[in-house]
Amino acid sequence: MTQDKMKTVNQQGWELIFICWLIAMAALFGSLFFSEVMGLKPCVLCWWQRIFIYPLAVLFLVGLFPQEQKMDRSVVRYTLPLAVIGLGFAIYHYLVYSGFIPESLQPCSKDLSCAEINLELMGFVTIPMLSIFAYSAIIVLLLIYRKRSYQ
Amino acid sequence: MKKNMIVIATTITFVVIFVVAAVIYNNQKDKELSSASLKNIEHMQRDYSPMMGPPDAKVTIVEFFDPACGTCSAFYPFVKQLMEDNPGKVNLVLRYLPLHQNSDVIVSIFEAARLQNRFQETLERAYQTREAWIEHHVSRPEKLWGQLDGLGLDMEKLNEDLRSAEIAKRVKQDMLDAQQLNVTKTPGFFVNGKPLVNFGYQQLQQLVESEIANNY
């Protein structure tokens, strides 16, 4: 690829999709660390959030290597819905966590409560908070990317 | 292409960070577990706890077990072999940690059988016939019942005893002790109060042998 074309690809927002991919990868490895290394069993709502973030790690990776020499605009079409639905679950989980939604209204089994707080990083950062942050950041970056690519 | 390299390097970085973090976390956890079990030494063994092997042995294996747990069943002959290989030096204290559904009834049957001096026979029969009384990871006490022929048990008395408050209290106490000692999976082994941190046959054997070397 010539220097010139490289520049256009970059202008089209390769780095935005790259950051999205980084966030999805961090979420993937982070959640696996919590469950497989630290032994914190994921509750039902955690699973729903995993379902929507794991494919993003793959989709963004594919998006980073467009077939033509220009960025693939349809990345947004395929990833934004996943991120929005995931954010919905993350917010719901956060509300259950902080007690705005009573536990009995949500679908977790008794022995694996979604409302139980089993990790607080630096005293206040909980897992649903990390999830909300990851999904929101991805959504914002995708919106910026879309705006840029239609200019 | 440069982008290939960035993506590959990032992926490798993620994997390396994950592995390094896991190693650090596990090391720290090992240390915590060891000190926690030394602090909670009184939870290790109760005067009612069933013991197998020579009572005056200087090396004691404490095993938290669930009869419905396949790994517990696989370890049982191995632990027995360890005791046979070191005659007079090693004994085994069994603690109940019935994690599977209805396993609390199964261990109550063991306790009731112990009142008739048939503890070991009943435990071994239960392990041998596991497939007959476990369905989809749920224990079926009524199916174990049919497997207990020929052990010389007074079944009527057994049925009465297994509902006793004393037995329920013991099972509950064992589960509380397991919690205090951070045992969340079965089998959970301790040798002279030291937890088996890296799980495996060989690791258990090494821990037992090092305790024998320390005490004999």
User: Is the CB of residue A37 less than 8 Å away from at least one CB of chain B?
Assistant: yes
Look up the ipTM and state it.
0.76
Contact A142, A76 (CB under 8 A): yes
Query: Which chain A residues are closer than 8 Å to B21 by Cβ?
Result: 33, 37
CATH superfamily of B43-215: Glutaredoxin (3.40.30.10)
**Position B1 pLDDT exceeds 90:** no
Nearest by Cα to B179 from B43, B72, B65, B70: B43
Give the confidence band of A121 by pLDDT, cuts at 50, 70, 90: low
Question: Which 8-state DSSP code applies to residue A105?
Answer: G
- Map B74-121 to HEC letters: HHHHHHHHHHHHCCCCEEEEEEECCCCECHHHHHHHHHHHHHCCCHHH
| Residue A116 confidence (pLDDT) above 80 | no
- Strand B90-96 with B59-65, pairing: parallel
Q: A30: nearest CA in chain B?
A: B18
Closest CA to A64 of B18, B14, B15, B1: B1
Asked if residues B174 and B37 have their Cβ atoms less than 8 Å apart, the reply is no
Evaluate if residue A4 carries a pLDDT over 60.
no
Answering whether pTM is above 0.95, one says no
CB contact under 8 A, B14 and A65: no
> Mean pLDDT score of chain B, rounded to an integer?
90
B14/A39 touch (CB, cutoff 8 Å), yes or no: no
In tens, the pLDDT along B110-141 reads 999 999 999 999 999 999 999 899 988 889 99
Confidence of residue A71 (pLDDT cuts 50, 70, 90): confident
CA A122 to chain CA centroid, Å, is 21
Substitution target from A7, A37, A112 for chain B, most B beta carbons within 10 A: A37
A1 pLDDT above the threshold of 60: no
For the cut 90, the answer to whether the pLDDT of residue A118 exceeds it is: no
Ramachandran angles phi, psi of B139, nearest 5°: -75, 140
Contact predicate A96/A106, CB 8 Å = yes
Q: Mean per-residue pLDDT for B154-161?
A: 92
Instruction: Assess whether pLDDT exceeds 90 at residue A38.
Output: no
Radius of gyration from C-alpha coordinates of chain A: 18
* pLDDT at A10 exceeding the cut of 60: no
Q: Phi/psi at A142 (nearest 5 deg)?
A: -65, -40
* Percentage of residues of chain A with pLDDT beyond 90: 44
Measure CB to CB from residue A22 to each of B1, B10, B17 and give the nearest one. B10
Among B residues 9-38, those touching chain A with beta carbons less than 8 Å apart: 10-11, 14-15, 17-18, 21-22, 25-26
- In which band, very low, low, confident or very high, does the pLDDT at B204 lie, cut at 50, 70 and 90? very high
Q: What is the pLDDT of residue A110?
A: 45
Structure confidence by residue, pLDDT tens digits, B23-42: 999 888 878 777 776 777 77
Between chain A and chain B, how many beta carbons pairs sit less than 8 Å apart?
A: 31
**Least-confidence region, from A124-133, B28-37, B65-74:** B28-37
Cα distance between residue B44 and residue B46, in whole Å: 7
Window 6-25 of A, Cβ < 8 Å to B: 6, 14, 18, 21-22, 25
Q: Determine which of A64-68, A119-123, B134-138, B184-188 has the lowest per-residue pLDDT on average.
A: A119-123
In chain A, whose CA is at the least distance from the CA of B6? A18
Of B1, B2, B22, the CB nearest to A37: B22
A69, amino acid identity: Q
> B28-59 burial by CB neighbour count: b if 16+ within 10 A, else e?
eeeeebeeebeeeeebbbeeebbebbeeebeb
- Do B11 and A25 count as a contact with CB atoms less than 8 A apart? yes
Task: Break chain B into its structural domains and give their ranges.
Answer: 2-39, 43-215
Query: Are the C-beta atoms of B132 and B147 separated by less than 8 Å?
Result: yes
- Please report which confidence band the pLDDT of residue A106 belongs to, taking 50, 70 and 90 as the band edges: very low
DSSP B124-143: HHHHHTHHHHEETTEE-HHH
The single residue listed with the structure tokens 């720290």 is B28
Q: Which residues are CB-neighbours of B163 under 8 A, at least 6 positions away?
A: B108
Q: In chain B, what percentage of residues exceed pLDDT 90?
A: 66
